[in-house]
């Protein structure tokens, strides 16, 4: 208990300190990055972030200004072309709503970004310049400036500059040049992106407060569960130990995610170590939670003492899901700085989705078989618990499917991340749904004086007799002869049913 209280105090302290000492901006570092050919231009993407204007009603002006600052941005060309004159290299910053203002007339079947010789002859632009048009919102945007190589120099450095952000939006930075002789050009240095609230990009900022809230929610759930566990530890059975593990993993996961975002907000650099730990704890929690739901659906610890031959199959499915999910989450989160969503490749997303679907099918198929056994053995208390569990699980699956369709709709309508201020809701929803289902399971199987009523009993009819023990207190009266014959007949049928059930139990063990 003292460990969990200490964790709560640390979270509260970190929360208060993050509000007091909010620092500068998000740091995008470039280490010998190469340009890529796009149409008639060579392009390197320098970053994308949602930035709140310091003039917004949500923030105060003054020292909390928003900007994008260039620090030691150096372009290096190969030595073999150092004796050739070159066209300038440009930095282009624009808000996503102004994306159509970059580029001009069609050229070679594509929109031309660079001013070509043909366009220069028409007097539209100067050769080697970037074609762009002023924004309808602000005539000073997009911001375009550049630098050229001097004589035989191998490097050219952009002058230190800071671009003030006066309009809330999703901003994009691209370095662009139009010289084929510089196709092997590399860029080094860094840019600093400042939000009024600190280093965190705009889309990620709400998640820090969300994970702080979820950390406290898991602490509350943990206090409830561990207090019940301590009071009735003699009545605890294996399934409840598994639930304890999931709650503990959830507490660590939420705390690590909070510290990941808090550290990012403090330094401007994504902490790789904390991110990996947060991803790993989260993946383990999701894997263990799915396995627990599956074995509960199979009736483990309730109508069967072991999984028998199914144990290896369950472990194999869990390990495969963990591997696929861990790979996906690491690629999605580790080192991610820009406000770009949906970067994971399709071949990493599909295995996780397929394994999730397999879990769901197996769970509901197992629940159906367990229901039949509980009904046949007339285990009323366990049957009621499983009915509530099935209802909660069905609601969670239906809500999940509905949210998946909404997520697909949201992403299809937000190709350019224009709705970045709402994007944090998507990952937050899955955490809330997982926590809600865990809370329901914790309430249904919480340790209590009657915990053993939910556990496996070797006597198939034992619980039925326990539930109806009050009937034995009624003094029996004389029984008519025709009812005696009827009772004898029913007894034979019950014995036959019991023999069949015992056979099913033995078959379960062999499985």
The answer to whether residue 51 sits within a structural domain is yes
Q: Answer for the pair 128, 115: CB distance below 8 angstroms, yes or no.
A: yes
26-69 pLDDT per residue, tens:
888 899 899 998 888 999 999 999 998 876 544 443 446 789 99
**Where residue 266 sits, what CATH number does that domain have?**
1.20.1070
Same domain for 210 and 187, yes or no, is: no
Same domain for 187 and 217, yes or no, is: no
CA distance 267 to 24: 8
Selected residue with higher pLDDT from 438 and 311: 438
Neighbours of 69 (CB within 10 A): 16
The tokens for 485 are 């014959």
CA distance 340 to 321: 25
Same domain for 32 and 131, yes or no, is: yes
108-124 pLDDT per residue, tens:
455 688 887 777 787 77
Q: Could you give the C-alpha distances from 125 to 103, 116, 121, 181, 352, in angstroms and in order?
A: 11, 8, 8, 21, 50
Average pLDDT over residues 155-174: 91
Range in 41-45, 362-366, 448-452, 493-497 with the lowest mean pLDDT: 493-497
Provide the sign of the torsion angle of the four alpha carbons 262, 266, 270, 272, taken in this order: negative
Query: Which pLDDT score, from 0 to 100, does residue 191 have?
Result: 94
The answer to whether residue 457 sits within a structural domain is no
Same domain for 156 and 292, yes or no, is: no
> 176: number of CA atoms within 13 Å, CB side?
25
The answer to whether residue 462 sits within a structural domain is no
Out of 162, 194, 226, a domain closes at 194
Same domain for 361 and 383, yes or no, is: yes
Residue 422 DSSP one-character state: G
Same domain for 496 and 433, yes or no, is: no
Same domain for 415 and 501, yes or no, is: no
Q: Please give the angle made by the CA atoms of 186, 189 and 191, to the nearest 5 degrees.
A: 120
The answer to whether residue 449 sits within a structural domain is no
Out of 164, 194, 224, a domain closes at 194
Selected residue with higher pLDDT from 375 and 259: 259
Average pLDDT over residues 148-152: 86
Q: Please give the angle made by the CA atoms of 316, 317 and 320, to the nearest 5 degrees.
A: 85
Same domain for 237 and 147, yes or no, is: no
Average pLDDT over residues 462-486: 39
Q: Answer for the pair 55, 182: CB distance below 8 angstroms, yes or no.
A: no
The answer to whether residue 392 sits within a structural domain is yes
Same domain for 309 and 340, yes or no, is: yes
Same domain for 325 and 392, yes or no, is: yes
Same domain for 386 and 478, yes or no, is: no
The answer to whether residue 325 sits within a structural domain is yes
Selected residue with higher pLDDT from 361 and 66: 361
Q: For the chain, give me the number of helices (H) and strands (E)?
A: 11, 12
Average pLDDT over residues 492-508: 46
Burial 478-499 (b: 16+ CB within 10 A, else e): eeeeeeeeeeeeeeeeeeeeee
Instruction: Output the pTM of the full model.
Output: 0.77
Kindly report whether the peptide bond that precedes residue 142 is cis, defined as omega within 30 degrees of 0: yes
**Residue 73 host element (H or E):** strand 67-76
Provide the sign of the torsion angle of the four alpha carbons 366, 368, 372, 378, taken in this order: positive
Give yes or no for residue 207 having a pLDDT over 70: yes
Note the Cα 177 to chain centre separation in Å.
Answer: 37
CA distance 257 to 204: 12
**Where residue 152 sits, what CATH number does that domain have?**
2.60.120
The tokens for 211 are 């994970």
Same domain for 371 and 250, yes or no, is: yes
Q: CA-based diameter of the chain, in Å? A: 119
CA distance 310 to 304: 12
Domain count of the chain? Answer: 3
Q: Could you tell me the residue range of the domain that residue 502 belongs to?
A: 473-510
- Let me know how long the chain is: 511
Range in 15-24, 101-110, 238-247, 421-430 with the lowest mean pLDDT: 15-24
């Amino acid at each position: 208990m003292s460990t969990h209280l200490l964790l709560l105090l640390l979270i509260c302290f970190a929360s208060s300190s993050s509000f007091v000492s909010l620092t500068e901006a998000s740091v995008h570092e470039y280490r010998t990055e190469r340009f890529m050919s796009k149409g008639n231009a060579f392009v390197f993407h320098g970053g994308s972030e949602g930035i709140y204007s310091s003039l917004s009603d949500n923030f105060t002006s003054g020292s909390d200004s928003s900007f994008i600052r260039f620090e030691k941005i150096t372009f290096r060309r190969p030595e073999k072309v150092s004796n050739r004159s070159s066209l300038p290299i440009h930095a282009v910053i624009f808000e996503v709503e102004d994306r159509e203002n970059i580029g001009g007339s069609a050229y070679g079947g594509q929109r031309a970004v660079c001013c070509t010789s043909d366009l220069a002859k028409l007097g539209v632009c100067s050769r080697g310049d970037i074609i762009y048009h002023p924004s309808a919102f602000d005539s000073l945007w997009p911001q375009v400036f550049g630098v050229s190589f001097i004589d035989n120099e191998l490097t050219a450095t952009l002058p230190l500059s800071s671009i003030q952000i006066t309009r809330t939006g999703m901003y994009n930075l691209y370095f662009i040049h139009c010289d084929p002789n510089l196709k092997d050009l590399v860029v080094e240095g860094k840019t600093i992106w400042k939000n009024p609230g600190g280093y965190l990009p705009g889309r990620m900022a709400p998640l820090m407060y969300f994970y702080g809230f979820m950390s406290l929610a898991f602490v509350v759930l943990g206090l409830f569960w561990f207090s019940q566990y301590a009071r009735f530890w003699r009545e605890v059975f294996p399934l409840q130990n598994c639930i304890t593990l999931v709650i503990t993993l959830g507490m660590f996961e939420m705390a690590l995610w909070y510290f990941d975002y808090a550290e990012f907000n403090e330094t401007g650099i994504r902490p790789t170590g904390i991110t990996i730990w947060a991803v790993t704890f989260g993946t383990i929690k999701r894997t263990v939670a799915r396995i627990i739901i599956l074995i509960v659906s199979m009736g483990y610890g309730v109508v069967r003492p072991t999984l028998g031959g199914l144990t290896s199959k369950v472990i194999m499915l869990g390990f495969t899901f963990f591997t696929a999910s861990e790979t996906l989450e690491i690629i999605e989160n580790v080192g991610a700085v820009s406000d770009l969503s949906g970067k994971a490749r399709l071949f990493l997303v599909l295995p996780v989705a397929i394994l999730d679907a397999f879990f769901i099918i197996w769970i509901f198929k197992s629940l159906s078989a367990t229901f039949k056994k509980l009904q046949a053995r007339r285990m009323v208390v366990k049957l009621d618990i499983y009915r509530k569990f099935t209802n909660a699980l069905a609601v969670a699956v239906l809500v999940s499917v509905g949210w998946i369709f909404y997520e697909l709709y949201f992403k299809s309508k937000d190709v350019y991340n224009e709705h970045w201020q709402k994007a944090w809701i998507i990952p937050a929803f899955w955490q809330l749904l997982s926590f809600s289902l865990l809370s329901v399971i914790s309430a249904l199987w919480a340790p209590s004086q009657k915990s053993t009523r939910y556990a496996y009993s070797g006597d198939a009819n034992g619980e039925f007799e326990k539930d109806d023990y009050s009937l034995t207190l009624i003094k029996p009266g004389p029984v008519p002869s025709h009812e005696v014959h009827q009772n004898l007949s029913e007894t034979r049928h019950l014995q036959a049913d019991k023999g069949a059930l015992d056979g099913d139990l033995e078959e379960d063990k062999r499985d």
